[in-house]
């Protein structure tokens, strides 16, 4: 009997070339590592479907993925067996059996990302792979004012990678919260979908606002003109983490 298994996955993306398998380029990816572990466990290939693609260097606290398998192995043994075959920077935190029609990507309603900024004068060897280092003083209140203009259903074309085209650049940001935990600043963005590099481009723009390089209400103009060149730089991948997928 075919079963549909959903995995919740935590990983440190520092040494991986993103989530999606890239067998032609022979680069290490998270998807490929889990599929290799699945082959060792089940003795057959599994086709893993992720909720979304994270780029090279991006991390995940709770990525979701599913695969179908003809196996009677109990869920606890699937989780334990996969973890025993995975490298230390990937772990399966949960394994659940879901309806056979469930699809990790198409059934996802919203995603929550967290971006971490280290804001102090000196860098941190301990945080270098998990935060963006910004030595300039950042005005949190200005960043929060700018963030308010981004909440709601809008055309985010200005925050899409310039070399990427999608059918529609309209998305709905449900929440955008900036939390100050000196010397860390955490930016949480929850939306019904994200364009390529959208979170990192938003963060880069908010950093420019925090530095005083642009006024908070400049964000309104950036949105209305739908030109990538008007927004800030793309923030480094290493500060980004997929925190949760909502179904």
Residues forming the active site: 55
d(Cα 7, Cα 32) in Å, to the nearest integer? 14
Q: Are 191 and 172 in contact (CB under 8 A)?
A: yes
Three state DSSP letters for 84-130: HHCCCCEEEEEEEEECCCCCCCCCCCEEEEEEEEEECCCCCCCCCCC
Q: Enumerate residues 6+ apart whose C-beta is below 8 A from 19.
A: 29, 30, 31, 50, 52, 53, 54, 60, 63
């Amino acid at each position: 009997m075919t079963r549909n298994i959903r995995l919740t996955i935590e990983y440190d993306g520092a040494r991986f070339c993103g989530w999606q398998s890239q067998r032609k380029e022979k680069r290490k990816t998270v998807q490929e590592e889990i599929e290799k572990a699945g082959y060792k466990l089940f003795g057959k290939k599994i086709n893993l479907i992720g909720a979304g693609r994270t780029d090279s260097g991006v991390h995940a606290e709770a990525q979701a993925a599913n695969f179908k398998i003809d196996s009677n192995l109990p869920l606890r043994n699937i989780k334990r067996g996969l973890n025993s075959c995975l490298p230390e920077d990937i772990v399966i935190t949960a394994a659940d059996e879901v309806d056979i029609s469930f699809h990790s990507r198409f059934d996802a309603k919203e995603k929550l990302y967290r971006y971490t900024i280290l804001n102090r004068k000196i860098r941190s060897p301990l945080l270098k792979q998990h935060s963006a280092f910004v030595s300039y003083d950042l005005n949190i209140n200005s960043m929060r004012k700018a963030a308010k203009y981004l909440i709601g259903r809008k055309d985010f074309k200005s925050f899409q990678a310039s070399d990427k085209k999608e059918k529609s650049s309209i998305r709905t940001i449900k929440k955008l919260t900036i939390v100050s935990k000196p010397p860390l600043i955490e930016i949480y963005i929850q939306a019904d979908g994200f364009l390529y590099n959208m979170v990192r481009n938003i963060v880069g723009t908010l950093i420019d606002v925090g530095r005083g390089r642009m006024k908070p209400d400049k964000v309104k103009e950036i949105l209305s003109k739908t030109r990538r060149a008007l927004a800030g730089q793309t923030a480094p991948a290493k500060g980004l983490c997929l925190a949760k997928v909502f179904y």
